[in-house]
Structure 1
Amino acid sequence: MRRIDYDTEQHQDYARGRALTERQQQTWISAFAAVLPEGRPLVGLDVGAGTGRFTPALARAFGPVTGVEPSVRMREIAQAQSRHPDVRYLASSAEDMPVPSASADYALMFLSWHHVQDKPLAVRELARVLRPAGRLLLRANFSDHHPRPWWLEHFPRGFAADAALFQPLHEVIEMFTSDGWRVAGFGTVTEPSVGTRADMLQRLRLRTLSFFAQLSPDELEAGFRRLEEAVAANPDAPAPVFAEPLLTLERC
């Protein structure tokens, strides 16, 4: 996987390209609530918070949240977009978080696990910062449980190139369970549609998905040409939805 430097690419368009509608956000918050303890408030970590698309919503639903994000530009956007009193952002990564040991009830990693450089170190660091029985909500793609979004079929090597970004599910589980974690649950969440196929195309043109950084200029050009032709045939059709994996791990 080509590593993406969010301080030099994608940060300008990320918030627009990856924005969630209110219905989409509430769908995820409900899914998280279903696997978290019922007591409130809960202290949370949003690890790989990016531009903070979840951090304020987590604070509203569960309690104070610290967004952990290594990119200066992404943190600046997150801080500018939300002044929630129970949200703060720290310059750090999953491998080295400047928060006290056993200080959080849960951590969310939403499509950030594949960016982690030293995954075994991150497994240990997540165990350090969570309280006993604390939970990690790992919304990640897995090469053998891939959601296969509809637009990928139009790009050369589309499904294969995207799946190559991610580990197989059993490998991720083994990494955590061999370090003392247990699997608390695994399922899928179907996020409501972003709108029409034309709406989705507008977002995809911003190229804020890791997948696009893995393709050559020729592959990108060919893929977008095919995608635009397909969307032009029925632009007002609803953008298809798909089931997205959510793995819940518990610190023992």
Structure 2
Amino acid sequence: MRAIDYDSEQHQDYARGRALSERQLGVWLAAFEAVLPERRPLAGLDVGSGTGRFTPALADAFGPVIGVEPAARMREVAETRSSHPDVRYVAGSAEEMPVPSAAADYVLMGWSWHHVRDRPRAVRELARVLRPGGRLLLRTNFSDHHPRPWWLEHFPRGYEADASIFQPLHEVIEGFTSAGWRVAGFGTVTEPSAGTRAAMLERLRLRTLSFFAQLDPAELETGFERLEKAVAQDPDAPAPVFAEPLLTLELP
């Protein structure tokens, strides 16, 4: 996978390109709530928080949250978009977080695990910051459990290039269970439609998905030409939905 420097690319368009509607956000919060303890408040960490598309909503739903994000410009956007009293953002990564040990009841890593370079170190650091019984909500794709979004088929090597970004499920699980974690749950979440096909195309043109960094310019041009032709046939049709994996891990 080609590493993405969010301080030099994507930060200016990320919030718009990856925005969630209230309905979509509500579906994810319900999925998270189903695997978290019932007590409130919960102390949370949003690791790889980006522009904060989940962080304030997590604070509203569960309690105070620290967003941990390595890219300064992504943090700047997050802080500009929301000044939630129970949210703060800090520089850090899954491998090194500036928070005390046993500080959190849960960690969300939403769409960020594939960016982690030193995964064994991250597994240890995530165990350090969680309290006993704490849970890690790992929202990531897996090469063998790929959601196959509808637009991907129009790009050369689409499924192959996107799947190559991610580990297989058994490899991720082994990386955690060999360090003492246990699997608390695995399932899928289906978001409501992101809007019309035309609206989705406009967001895809912002290229805020890691997938687009894996293709060369000719492949990108071909893919968008094909996608535009397909969308033009029925631009106002709702964008198709698809199921996305959610792996929950727990410390003993």
Answer yes or no: same fold by TM over 0.5.
yes
Residue 227 of structure 1, CA deviation: 0.2
Q: Which residue of 2 aligns with 1:162?
A: 162
Q: Deviations over 1:175-213 (max 9, x none)?
A: 000000000000000011111100110100000000000
Q: Which residue of 1 aligns with 2:86?
A: 86
Q: Which residue of 2 aligns with 1:104?
A: 104
Residue 5 (str. 1) matches residue 11 (str. 2): no
2:92 is paired with a residue whose SS is: coil
Q: Residues 176-187 of structure 1 correspond to what in structure 2 (within 5 A)?
A: 176-187=176-187
**Cα distance in structure 2, aligned partners of 1:101 and 1:69:** 18
Q: Which residue of 2 aligns with 1:200?
A: 200
**Paired letter, 1:152:** L
Q: Which residue of 2 aligns with 1:141?
A: 141
**Paired letter, 1:95:** E
1:108 is paired with a residue whose SS is: strand
**Paired letter, 2:208:** T
Hey, which bits of structure 1, 4+ residues long, moved more than 6 A?
none
Residue 17 (str. 1) matches residue 5 (str. 2): no
Aligned length: 252
Residue 175 (str. 1) matches residue 191 (str. 2): no
**Cα distance in structure 1, aligned partners of 2:114 and 2:97:** 17
2:223 is paired with a residue whose SS is: helix
**Cα distance in structure 2, aligned partners of 1:97 and 1:139:** 19
Q: Which residue of 2 aligns with 1:123?
A: 123
Residue 221 of structure 1, CA deviation: 0.2
Q: Which residue of 1 aligns with 2:247?
A: 247
Q: Deviations over 1:142-184 (max 9, x none)?
A: 0000000010000000000000000000000000000000000
Q: Residues 39-118 of structure 1 correspond to what in structure 2 (within 5 A)?
A: 39-118=39-118
Q: Deviations over 1:89-143 (max 9, x none)?
A: 0000000001000110000000100000101000000000000000000000000
Residue 67 of structure 1, CA deviation: 0.1
TM-score, normalized by length of structure 1? 1.00
Question: Identity, % of aligned pairs?
Answer: 80
**Cα distance in structure 2, aligned partners of 1:189 and 1:2:** 27
Residue 59 of structure 1, CA deviation: 0.2
**Paired letter, 2:55:** T
TM-score, normalized by length of structure 2? 1.00
Residue 224 of structure 1, CA deviation: 0.2
**Paired letter, 2:9:** E
**Cα distance in structure 1, aligned partners of 2:129 and 2:91:** 16
Q: Deviations over 1:214-239 (max 9, x none)?
A: 00000000000000000001101110
**Paired letter, 1:222:** T
**Cα distance in structure 1, aligned partners of 2:91 and 2:114:** 19
**Cα distance in structure 2, aligned partners of 1:100 and 1:152:** 41
Residue 44 of structure 1, CA deviation: 0.1
**Paired letter, 1:230:** A
Structure 2 stretches lacking a partner, 5+ long: none
**RMSD of aligned alpha carbons:** 0.3
Residue 223 (str. 1) matches residue 223 (str. 2): yes
**Cα distance in structure 2, aligned partners of 1:192 and 1:163:** 23
Structure 1 stretches lacking a partner, 5+ long: none
1:184 is paired with a residue whose SS is: strand
